[in-house]
Each structure stands twice: as C-alpha cells, then as structure tokens.
Structure 1
Amino acid sequence: MIVLAVFFAVLGAASNAVGTAFQRKAASTVDRGGGLALLRALVRRPAWIIGIAGVTGAAVFQALALVNGPMALVQPVFILELPFALLIAVPLLHRRLPAAGWWAIATVVAGLALLLGAAAPSGTRRQAAMEQWIPVLAVTLGAMGAAVAVARGSSSPLLRAAVLGAGAAIGNALTAALMKSATVRLADAGLPAFLTTWQTYGFALTGVAALLLLENALQAGPLVASQPALTIGDAAVSLLLGVALFDEHVRTGWWLLPEAAGALMIVWGVFRLTRVVPHLGDFVH
C-alpha cells in the first residue's frame, strides 16, 4: 500500500507540474485583474485549459495516493512538482537547464528521500471526528482569509506573492485532507456515501479557493516569492493535518537530525531552482 501511495503521488506531482507550468504561462499573459476577473481572462487561453487538465489528472492520482497511504507521506512527495515543472519548461522553450539547476533538482530529490526515509510516516486513521474537523477548518480557513487580507493591504509584490502562495499552500493541504476523508468514504461505502458526505463538497470548494489563490500569487509577484511558500508550505501543513486529523506518526528522537537535514536540503534546492527560472525567458513573470 505504501509503495502504491508513493507511486501515485509521484504521478500526481508530474501531472500537477504540467498543470502549474501551463497555468503559469497563461497567468503571465494577463496584465490586469484579480479574483474572478482573472479567472474569466484565463479560461480563454488554451495554455490554461491544458493546465487545468494537468491539475485534474493530478487530483485523481492524489486521491489514489491518499487512499493508499498517510497524508504525511503523500503530500511531501508533491514537492517534486517544482523540479518536474522545470524539466517540462526546458523543452517547451527550447532552452537548456544550467548546471546549477540540475544540482538544485538533485538536492531537492535527495533531501525529500532523506526526510521521508527518516520520518517514516505511518499509522493513518480512516476518518476524523467532527470535533477534530471544526478547529482545523477554523484555523486553516482563517489563515487563508488572512492571507487575502494581507495581500490586498500590501503594495509589495514580494509580500503579496509570498502570502498568497502560503494561502494557496494551506488551501491545498486542507483540500488533500478533505479529499482523503471523502475518498475513504467512497472506498468503504460506495458512490452514494461519497456524494452525501460533506467532505466531498468541502474539498471541491477549498480546491477552487486554493486555485484562485494560486493564480493570483503567480500574477502578484516573482516566482522566488510564491513558489517556496507554496511548495514547502503545502508539505508542512499537510504533515500537521495528517497528525491532527488522522493520527499519523513520524519518527522523533535522534531521527529529527536527518529529518532537519533533509528539510534544509529541500529549502535550499527550492530557492536555487527559483533562481534558475528567470533564465527561462518569458515562461514566467
């Protein structure tokens, strides 16, 4: 089951990379507008349609991964989305990835392997009780709202991109938690139960909200501000939600040392990759 979870998570990361790459290309062609106005402008662009197809495929793979393994294992694998996105962008733009980019990709992959190998996430519960969902929903939805408020009140492109990216990360993690719960209902009780559980409609709504935050983060400022917050934030919040909602476990004690080393390698690699992206020309802002 764990092998299947990792397999589907990697496929999901690759599919999401396709989605992110084409969404970013579409977002970079829109000069003005935000929120629903931005979305109306994007739906007329073929690149955005391809991006949505990639995101849809990623959602299917993500659901399959979550039903086979813990959130604390599945969601961090989606860190691979950024390296995949760059590898997709290079042939699309007929460019070569600099040596620094290859080293950064290798560092992210090695850091992720070290982190997950040391943490060894395990022990997922099938469902969370409503009294656990209520505080989680209050905190995560409140944080997403706060991100929007801060972005609207700021004139700094760096800050706006960072807080909107963080808001999108929280939305993605919450969507994954709700999706896991709904998918388990589907597996255990069939389609009628899936269609009547509140988590199904919850992950649909939070998924749309996270998508809007992502689109606005990509438009608000440079990738170096939004991508680290999005990539690292999703993994961190997902791990916390897995522990809080589904009683998942990670190893502690001396294992925290290699876990911290792996996390630092990921952070360094992600920041280095975002430094490489501007050399890819008009692919991003």
Structure 2
Amino acid sequence: MISVLFAVLTALSNGSASVLQRRAALKVPSGEEMRLSLVGHLLRQPVWLGGIGMVIVAAVCQAVALATGPIAVVQPIFVIELPATLLLAGFVMRVRVPRPVWTGVAAVTLGLALGMASAAPVGGTDEVQGAAWVPALVVTGVFEAALITSAMRISGNARAALLGLAAACAYALTAALMKDAMSRLTSDGFIGLVKAWQLYGTAAAGVGALFILQNALQAGTLAAVQPMLTLGDALISITYGVTLFGERLRTGWWLLPQLIAVALIAVGCVVLARSPLAGGGPQPPPRVK
C-alpha cells in the first residue's frame, strides 16, 4: 500500500529531525522562548539545518501518503518515528542498543498494531466539503491559544509538554490542510492546487508548528515533549479525519483496546525519549566484536 510505505518514510524522517533539533536546542541560551531570536541561534547550527532537511523530506513523503490514503490511517503510523530512529542510530553509531529501548520499541509497535486493528479506520473523502473548515479552524485556534498561554505561565518539563501538544495540534492541522490541498491537485491539476487556499494554509501551519516545536524542545527534555507530540498528532489527526473527511472508526467495546493501545504507545515513547540515543547524552559502550 503506497500510503503506508510513504507514511513509514515520513516517520523515519520526522524522528531523525526531532532528535537533531533537540540537540541543537540544547545549545540555545535560556530566555529565548517564543522569540524570533531563537531561530537566529538555531540557523547557525549545522545539526539544526540537517534536521530541517529531514523535515523537508518528511513533508514530501507525507504529501504522497495523504494523497493516497485516509488521514486516520496515515498519521497514526507516525508513532513509529522515534523507535525506528533510535534503532537506526544504534546501528549507524555501532553501539549496543540498551534493553529499555527494545522494551519501548515493543510497547510502541504493539500499541500501534492494537490501535490500528481495533479502530480499523475506513471510508472518508479526499476533499473537505462546504464550509466545514470554518468551525474546525476556530476550535483549533482557541485550543492552540489556550495551550500556549498556559505554557508561558509555567516552566520546565510542564511547559515543554504543553508546547509539545500545541506543536502536535499544529502538525495535525498541517496534515489535514495538506490532504485537502492534494485533492485539488488530483481533481483540478497544478493550477487548481496553486489556487487553493489550503496550500498556503499548509505552509503557514507547518511553519507555526516548527516554531512551536523548537520552543518545546528548548523548554524541557525530549521525554516531556515526545509523548505529547507523538500521541497528540495521531489523536488530533484522527479527529480531523472523522470530522472533516468523514472517515469512520470502530466504537463500542472496541474503545477498550484502543485506550490500551494509547497507553502502550505513551509508555513506550517515554521510555524511548529517556534513552541517551535520543537525548544526545552519553552513549552506551561500543559493541564487542
């Protein structure tokens, strides 16, 4: 399935970008939160520019995935971005992957499989009908404002978690706008895409999401940001899929295994984000040949 393949490629690129951006954010002076000067500090760091390169690759892959599959299928697959990236990092750096990482990988993988099997998202359209975007954008704007306002009143990992959720909401909005924009490309060609406001909305939401994420990563640890970012993106994207694109999920008693899946993914993300491979801290000893 093309959409699943490109969703996996997107997850790999996004996971790599998160780790690179976190390492860059650690070098930013304190007190730069929610200021444009934060971007200036980051632009001078090659590791951050490498993360931006991976973001661009992810955007292209995500566009293909969303153009060929339901948003409720594509976006949840992104939960594998962190475990896949850590395993790849261990292979490239030739270090032994710690047992907790394997535990986290197992939890996330099992949670994703259980969640997708129990939710079984189907149906939906490629294009948002009528003026459905109006209430969706209003609710999203209010939610984002509440999260950011609350985050700026606190500090540390609590701020990082709230900003991580705000970034997740912005990324989910970006995906929904991107899917709607790609439907114009399919139906009306390149001219239709250029004329669609959703294309420019995608760019604006994507830039906003990236800015919020940098502040989240600078405010606290990856362990505080990543679970909110990963689960928030998946769950909010599913909400957009159901409310805007008419996609359907199983309900009733199927909600129980879905909640278990969310818990498994959350625990797995916390375990993985605390790994030295994710935090850029001391690395495990080299593998004995």
| Aligned-partner Cα distance in 2 for 1:92–1:164 | 31
- Paired with 2:187 and 2:140, the residues of 1 have a C-alpha distance of 27
- Please show how residues 33-112 of structure 1 align to structure 2 within 5 Å: 33-34=32-33, 35-90=35-90, 95-112=95-112
For residues 218 and 96 of structure 1, the distance between their equivalents in structure 2, rounded to whole angstroms, comes to 26
Deviations along 1:217-262, one digit per CA (max 9) or x if unpaired, are 0000122221111111110100111000000001123322322222
Q: Amino acid of the residue matched to residue 87 of structure 2?
A: L
| 1:22 maps onto 2:20 in alignment | yes
The alpha-carbon deviation at position 277 of structure 1 amounts to: 4.1
2:229 aligns to what? 230
1:87 positional shift? 2.4
Distance 1:134 1:144 in 2: 16
Structure 1 position 133, deviation (Å) = 0.6
Deviation at 1:279, TM superposition (A): 8.3
Partner of 2:160: 161
Gaps of at least 5 residues in structure 2 are 283-289
1:131 aligns with 2:131: yes
Distance 1:94 1:157, change over 3 A: farther
Measure, in 2, the Cα distance between the counterparts of 1:238 and 1:231. 11
Who is 1:213 aligned against? 212
Relative to 1, partners in 2 of residues 1:205 and 1:106: Cα closer, same or farther, differing over 3 Å? same
SS of 2:12 mapped into structure 1: helix
Are the aligned partners of 1:169 and 1:233 in contact in 2 as well (CA < 8 Å)? yes
Q: TM-score, normalised by structure 1?
A: 0.92
> Where do residues 244-263 of structure 1 align in structure 2 (5 Å cutoff)?
244-263=243-262
Which range moves more in the overlay, 70-79 or 95-104?
95-104
Stretches of structure 1 lacking an aligned partner (at least 5 in a row): none
Compare 45-54 and 29-38 and name the one that shifted more: 29-38
- CA distance in 2 between counterparts of 1:84 and 1:37 reads 32
1:255 maps to a residue whose letter is W
Percent identical across equivalent pairs? 45
The residue type equivalent to 1:81 in the other structure is E
The one-letter amino acid paired with 2:190 is: L
Q: Distance in 2 between matches of 1:176 and 1:243?
A: 14
Query: Normalising by structure 2, what TM-score?
Result: 0.91
- Aligned position for 2:198: 199
* Residue 81 of structure 1, CA deviation: 1.1
* Contact 1:9–1:77 (Cα < 8 Å) also in 2: yes
Q: Find the aligned partners of 1:90 and 1:217 in 2 and give their Cα distance.
A: 25
**Contact 2:16/2:51 (<8 A) preserved:** yes
What does residue 177 of structure 1 align with? 176
Which range moves more in the overlay, 199-208 or 106-115? 106-115
Task: Quote the RMSD (CA, aligned, Å).
Answer: 1.9
